[in-house]
A = this chain, B = another copy of it.
Amino acid sequence: MRQITGGITAVSGILAAGINCGIKSQNKDLALVVSRKPATVAAMFTTNEAKAAPVQLCQQRLAAGLAQAVIINSGNANAGTGAKGMADGRRMAELTAKGLGIDPGLVWVASTGIIGAPLPMDKIAAGIQGLIPQLDSSGGEAAAEAILTTDTRPKQLAVKLSLEAGEVILGGMAKGAGMIRPKLATMLCFLATDAKIEPAHLQSALKLAVEQSFNLITIDGDTSTNDMVMLLATGEGVTLDPGGRDWEAFEEGLMYLTRELAYQLVWDAEGATKLIRVQVAQGRDKEQARRVAFAIADSNLVKCAFFGQHLNWGRILAAAGYAEAGIDPRRLDIYIGGVKLVEGGAKSAGADEAQAQAELARREITVRLTLGQGNSTVEVLTCDFSADYVKINAHYQT
């Protein structure tokens, strides 16, 4: 596996475009991704019970197992919009289908931005007209820009796998920034591969990858109404299935792609100055390790301490304690970087505090807890918590 330039349009058969259609006063806000032929599709959606209209629409479409395009707007989430929101979402799909000359049932819809405002359908209708002529096999970057909200930079990636059956390309783009605490799926992410894969197999590979990537990050503990991860397999390349020798390598490639995009999301979190890897090892089981890791990664107090570069392991201990995970503090060790600060739940006598303090000055910091109760390990990515997060979110209308 090696990384190649580009994002979703690095996959042969995928075209994309991104423009400003006037939802936002500046910057691109409307993106379109199209497969030359109907592709098999897999997807995961937010577990939020107040699902946005486009999420409900795509959930209905998933059963067919085939999709050919996705139209995406930023600046307006089309969430909390009731029956009108559903009608607007369907209309976005219909207008796109008409412009492309394909079946509306093959067009997916995604939205991200302000909750509760109706979509400006006149602008979107005109935008779709302007967008289709710009579809291009190098349009991935423009599309990646058009799906952003408070993100500061586009997030995209592509990799090439050299399998026994031949070469396979995997590419994708994502947006994040805030309201990120995935449960089963997360934020907007669009992925594609040129491999030919049955929908059920594509879905199982996507689920595995998402659980090991987007479901292991948290920015602010808020799970959005609009989260969605979509994976298209255009079928222009080699055929893959779980029975074949290449399947595991494909799964690994997909996991690499989703993990790297998740990593990019956390780095571009609202107000973040540091990326924190919370590793929990020696868990009784995965669930215990996951609970402890998320309690720490979601703790405002822990994250403020990292922002302030304070060697405040007491807050980490407290968060592990309230995770309701059945830890035994007397078996708990805590490391910052390579320095063991806590041994058996209390301050380690020989800890090199100066070195630990130096670790805190880094931009990327690893916190490691060993629970002493088993062999399960989890790593959750999060960021620090700065005064800028509050400023951004006191004034931005999500």
Contacts and interface: CB of A to CB of B under 8 A. Distances in A.
Interface of A: 46-51, 77, 79-85, 114-117, 178-179, 181, 183, 220-225, 298-301, 304-305, 307-308, 310, 312-315, 317-330, 332, 342, 344-347, 385-387, 389-391, 393-395, 397-398
Given A47-B322, A116-B347, A300-B393, 9 more contacts: A47-B324, A50-B318, A81-B347, A115-B312, A179-B301, A221-B300, A304-B393, A307-B394, A315-B398
For the complex of A and B, the 10 pairs showing the least CB-CB separation, nearest first, are: A115-B314, A308-B394, A50-B321, A82-B346, A304-B393, A223-B322, A48-B321, A387-B387, A50-B329, A116-B314
B398 A301 contact: yes
Contacts of A181: 322
16 contacts: A48-B321, A49-B328, A50-B318, A50-B332, A80-B329, A82-B330, A116-B313, A117-B347, A222-B319, A305-B394, A307-B394, A308-B393, A314-B398, A315-B398, A318-B398, A387-B394
Number of copies: 2
A393 B222 contact: no
A389 B223 CA distance: 22
Interface SS of chain A: loop
B222 A321 contact: no
A322 B48 contact: yes
Contacts of A326: 49
Contacts of A298: 221
A148 to B, nearest CB: 18
- Among A298, A321, A323: residue with most chain B CB under 10 A: A321
B318 A224 contact: yes
- Among A307, A313, A315, A330: residue with most chain B CB under 10 A: A315
A50 B221 contact: no
A83 B349 CA distance: 13
A346 B117 CA distance: 9
Contacts of A323: 49
Contacts of A114: 314
Contact of A346 (B85, B328, B345): B85
